[in-house]
Structure 1
């Protein structure tokens, strides 16, 4: 122990002086990485704020759409006049189905197969300020919390029964993306064109919010690793184990020209 202490007293002051006199390339790279990570975190937070705004905007659109009245003259869908002999195949069960009821069939078929698999975690989701993301229903058998999106979980969330007088209410568009400000006023039970449009719109927004939260978590982990590396770089163990030899005493900056 005395020999080890003498080595520290003899070598460490010289290493500390050398560390302070010569610029550290890894330290400069670490600072650049922290600056880049902070910019990405700021962009991710702005993206998250935008997605939260879209989340509340979508809820307002759905609430406004439910206030529309059903128009009896619009009961016939555009697809009703198509050839009834035309059939397409379900992507889940491969059975041939009529195009008019294909969306309903595929949605139910997907829910049936999806509910056979569980996605769980031992801990519930705790995200400050987030609303309606994961299902988080506790399963006492597996002792896990469900980690599907809440709006898409076929195992713990059932579609409510649609009243007879409820309108479809899907916002109509032109040229694929341009909103017209009008809503589909066909009865929700009879509208095959916009089946479950609220669930799909909500799932789209929630999935993007989850992606941004995952990106933020990844950036926080990167920042922690960089800070830990910068802290340990000037520690006792690192200074004792590593040394940069200056063969030219007149050259104090050991960086290459491109790094200066």
Structure 2
């Protein structure tokens, strides 16, 4: 390897950083410019890795906000489909990241503010229908618990994909640059922030699925609750 890049694919895959980086990319992790060493490797090795991953029916994508991810376009590596909760939380965090009020502070967002923003944009009824579906009737206390659990699970899922960082002891999270992927459906609109707000309010969830290994598909947060079964009796 020379000082500016890699001379061949063999130089890339024998780099000490490559095995763990390759594993994370295949799991759907997003690498942004704060991941200094890994991001630098991808910058220097992009021409070799684009061909390498094409053999796995995947595309190595460089986002405009300076992040990398692997997009599966075939079946060799399978797909990990985001749940409705992950989609909504991701969209809300992208919206909050574009808000100067948050950026003017530390950038860390209290977890409770994420739930409050979701409720303000969708309303309690629609939010419950998406995150706490029931086959009959509604129960305010059960719905509240299930919504909170769905949001917490979504936050952990997004953390695993590199979309955010968690500071558990302070109940705060830090949106990363790659969360702007959730803006892609409205990026070309005249006002992406307003368009994304409308997308969330309408309960629409759109995003190309991050790549994942076969069998990584997760449930969509719609598991049957014991209270639901009792309601049907």
TM range (shorter): under 0.3
Question: Bigger radius of gyration, 1 or 2?
Answer: 1
Q: TM-score, normalised by structure 2?
A: 0.23
Q: TM-score, normalised by structure 1?
A: 0.22
